[in-house]
Structure 1
């Protein structure tokens, strides 16, 4: 099924109607050359010549056509070699076509040269112009007597009657040919129009405002989720439109049926499909028609635009999320700069510490981004396992140096950003002063979910071993330790316990899951 962009509904229908209009034939009775003669077979003209000969007592006759002021002999009977050339016929036809009514010539020389011409070469001519559906001259019908002839009034009238009959037959045959062409074009246009509707997943409707009866095509039944057995479609519409959107629908329909307005009906609304109860967004476009100031018809199309509305809502959510995250990031970085400055002795120390902390935020951002953007190609659920493995990967001196173990705990964007800073600070301290500063040192990070104070909490344990011998707790707290404590206690409303064991440092944290998920 070809895909059509939702916003191109009006354009799709406009283009289809334009193509239908462009394919219409020339005005009635005209073929592609502007000539109705093509719609009439030769035997029609031969029959007219025979009727003319019987009525006038002649034995010869012809019909010539006019196309762009050029005369051509089309059909003849009994002429044989009466004329030296067709030039004489063309000349006679031109005179007849210019005449008002029948043109009679009592004696005309059948030979081009008067030299050698005798009485047997003289003939009488009676001709009349034949007209097309638009009144223009299509050709001439001529009777030829084999000797000079004085044509009577009855001869003139008989030829006029035959010409009138031929004019009528040409009009009827032209109209029939035109109708057949129009029907064929209408069928092609209808097929093309239905194809466009199918491709755009569009249904059509026809509403009678006087009787409140509605007719739908098969596609609209499918879109609306309504059985074709439904007896009152108008009632179905009223009962399935979302309660919040029903006033908008009622106002729009009322405005479209107002003779003082444009008659246009267009809105987007939600429905609750009666077959599944599912909420769907529909885009309806219609046009009302009026007779004597009363609305008599409202026809239009309906398209399901649910996917487009979901995409729009997602884009709005992403925009809001991006704005929120950028503001938060600036706030966090601003605080990091201030605190790092106070804790650093030199600018190089400050730059190194600040660079590591900002990088930790960048890593968290990279992990979070697919989840936020709903990138189904890249998004794996963001979990605590993902985050710890990624942040601690640079500190793996060997396969067993860092062990992460715990259930999959999903993380929100803010929860991941907070934990990223905490894990980065603890890993940095471990790499500088703790277990990860020795080749034989190991770090084990484990976690589980448990109840605390009647609320679910994440219990995370950070155990360092094999590092420098720990003889006593460090005096005072550095910036990293203060940042860890502020984040766990202040941002995440959790608790943290630091235990200086002889084999290494042990952190035990309890964080409400509501701050993580």
Structure 2
């Protein structure tokens, strides 16, 4: 309505020249055709400003889009102004202003001369652009519909736009409808793009993961499978649909799979381990299957699941079980050895102090053997002998104790007992022989011979020096018990251990099995 509050119909229609009306109708038709075809909102709004400027002979036409706060607008397009102003915002501060009433109630504003209307909040801005006549038309698709923005039409000279109101109202409605159409089109495109992007990302995930992905209906009826299924099994998708996929399952596991599907309907989860054919290996591999119902169509669930290759995991678990069993066996044996060492040392010890010293030394030898066994490298006889020689802590040990023999790999079952034997021989030398006297020589020689088709280790400890013959009533110590009784029992070996004046010889004949 006019700024003075009088009805728009009070302005005589005769002010509209017939030629102007025809021109305006032509502009409406031309813009309507553009609005139907256009999908570019910015281009459409700019054309809307240009069309109406020509239709009514305005100097400036601006198209504002209302912001979400409904108290401010953004300039989206304009004709007769600098392009740099596009994108600027105007906020209404005076609730009593005509602009605020327009934004609040959607009422049009027509001011023949802005100099005569103090209720215009933007009067100063209009005067800075030398504008006098003004019409502000709300952009809405129809009566009672939300307002999208407003159309600003102004002239340098005072002008009453009441005669053009009907045209401007229809034009603004057409612009609003076009804006809504393009907004809806953009939303649909954005939603479609988002769906396609989501589907693309999901496809990347499904096709990129190592699992075999699939969807099924109740009763193990597959309706879809990922490309991994064909890549792994070599079966084409069509032949795998329905229950065809079961042909790739190992026959011995078919019953377990059927039972798992039956249980899934009760438990709400499908879980099974079965073997599936691998075309690359030409064999079956173990897989873990798992699926959950994710959607219901016509009352029936759709199961989404995967099969995960667990062949290597099962092999690792089996290997772990073997290692645990071996560890338990070794632990029991080690405890038995420690107990035997303690009992033998106690029986031979003359005092608690002697027991403590002897027991400590033997436990240290046992610990060295365990460190050798826990190493990652394969253990050779030379390595074991060098370890025991170094443990003696004597300066000239390499000249005093010589090693001569080939590289021989030792079975793990032999290391502990053999290490204790060498330790006992070295302990005897440190108490009574070459090491104790610092004179003489210890030669350790070995070689591998084949006896009866089996490799045998022949190991000789030869110690020569200057000491008296042992007393005839010398007690049998732990070392002799180990060499003459434990060694044959534990390793199936034979031994020859002799002590005389100035000489100690120990010869061992030990089966190597496949270790040599």
1:408 to 2:408 alignment: yes
TM-fit CA distance, 1:362: 0.9
Asked if the contact 2:271–2:288 (Cα under 8 Å) also holds between the matched residues in 1, the reply is yes
TM-fit CA distance, 1:344: 1.2
Task: Indicate the residue corresponding to 1:110 in structure 2.
Answer: 114
CA 279–369 in structure 1, closer or farther in 2 if over 3 Å, else same: farther
Q: Deviations over 1:433-468 (max 9, x none)?
A: 45655622233332435446xx84634342424234
Asked if the contact 2:109–2:135 (Cα under 8 Å) also holds between the matched residues in 1, the reply is yes
SS in 1 for 2:115: coil
State the distance in 2 between where 1:93 and 1:281 align.
Answer: 75
TM-fit CA distance, 1:488: 1.4
State the distance in 2 between where 1:138 and 1:300 align.
Answer: 48
Task: Indicate the residue corresponding to 1:75 in structure 2.
Answer: 77
TM-score, L = length of structure 1: 0.67
TM-score, L = length of structure 2: 0.67
Task: Indicate the residue corresponding to 2:462 in structure 1.
Answer: 464
Asked if the contact 2:448–2:456 (Cα under 8 Å) also holds between the matched residues in 1, the reply is yes
1:147 to 160, 185, 193: 160
- Write the mapping of 1:170-249 to structure 2, written as runs, cut at 5 A: 170-175=182-187, 178-179=190-191, 182=194, 186=198, 189=201, 193-194=204-205, 198=208, 202-209=210-217, 212=222, 214-217=224-227, 224=232, 226-227=233-234, 232-233=239-240, 238=246, 241=249, 248-249=256-257
Asked if the contact 2:445–2:461 (Cα under 8 Å) also holds between the matched residues in 1, the reply is yes
Task: Indicate the residue corresponding to 1:361 in structure 2.
Answer: 366
SS in 1 for 2:497: strand
State the distance in 2 between where 1:460 and 1:175 align.
Answer: 89
State the distance in 1 between where 2:248 and 2:311 align.
Answer: 16
Q: Deviations over 1:266-314 (max 9, x none)?
A: 5665556343256755455544443113345x44455545555555555
Q: Deviations over 1:84-109 (max 9, x none)?
A: xx999995554333336xx4556654
State the distance in 2 between where 1:415 and 1:390 align.
Answer: 15
Q: Deviations over 1:188-215 (max 9, x none)?
A: 8469x54x975xx624533444864653
SS in 2 for 1:202: coil
1:429 to 2:454 alignment: no
2:344 to 330, 336, 339: 339
The count of aligned residue pairs is 441
State the distance in 2 between where 1:124 and 1:463 align.
Answer: 121
State the distance in 1 between where 2:146 and 2:260 align.
Answer: 51
State the distance in 2 between where 1:472 and 1:46 align.
Answer: 120
State the distance in 2 between where 1:367 and 1:319 align.
Answer: 19
SS in 1 for 2:489: helix
CA 421–286 in structure 1, closer or farther in 2 if over 3 Å, else same: same
State the distance in 2 between where 1:409 and 1:327 align.
Answer: 24
Asked if the contact 2:291–2:304 (Cα under 8 Å) also holds between the matched residues in 1, the reply is yes
State the distance in 2 between where 1:240 and 1:400 align.
Answer: 70
CA 342–99 in structure 1, closer or farther in 2 if over 3 Å, else same: same
State the distance in 2 between where 1:244 and 1:420 align.
Answer: 50
TM-fit CA distance, 1:163: 4.5
State the distance in 1 between where 2:482 and 2:341 align.
Answer: 9
SS in 1 for 2:397: coil
Task: Indicate the residue corresponding to 1:351 in structure 2.
Answer: 356
2:105 to 95, 99, 110: 99
Task: Indicate the residue corresponding to 2:331 in structure 1.
Answer: 326
Structure number, greater radius of gyration: 2
Task: Indicate the residue corresponding to 1:390 in structure 2.
Answer: 387
Q: Deviations over 1:238-259 (max 9, x none)?
A: 4555677655544445555x3x
Q: Deviations over 1:61-88 (max 9, x none)?
A: 54222223213444345799xxxxx999
Structure 1 unmatched ranges of 5 or more? 1-38, 81-85, 371-378
CA 478–206 in structure 1, closer or farther in 2 if over 3 Å, else same: closer
TM-fit CA distance, 1:123: 5.9
CA 333–435 in structure 1, closer or farther in 2 if over 3 Å, else same: same
Structure 2 unmatched ranges of 5 or more? 1-38, 83-89, 124-130
State the distance in 2 between where 1:337 and 1:129 align.
Answer: 103
Please give the root-mean-square deviation of Cα atoms over the aligned residues, in Å: 4.8
Task: Indicate the residue corresponding to 1:487 in structure 2.
Answer: 486
Asked if the contact 2:234–2:279 (Cα under 8 Å) also holds between the matched residues in 1, the reply is no
SS in 1 for 2:408: coil
TM-fit CA distance, 1:403: 2.6
TM-fit CA distance, 1:339: 1.8
TM-fit CA distance, 1:409: 3.8
State the distance in 1 between where 2:215 and 2:49 align.
Answer: 56
Task: Indicate the residue corresponding to 2:35 in structure 1.
Answer: none
SS in 2 for 1:345: coil
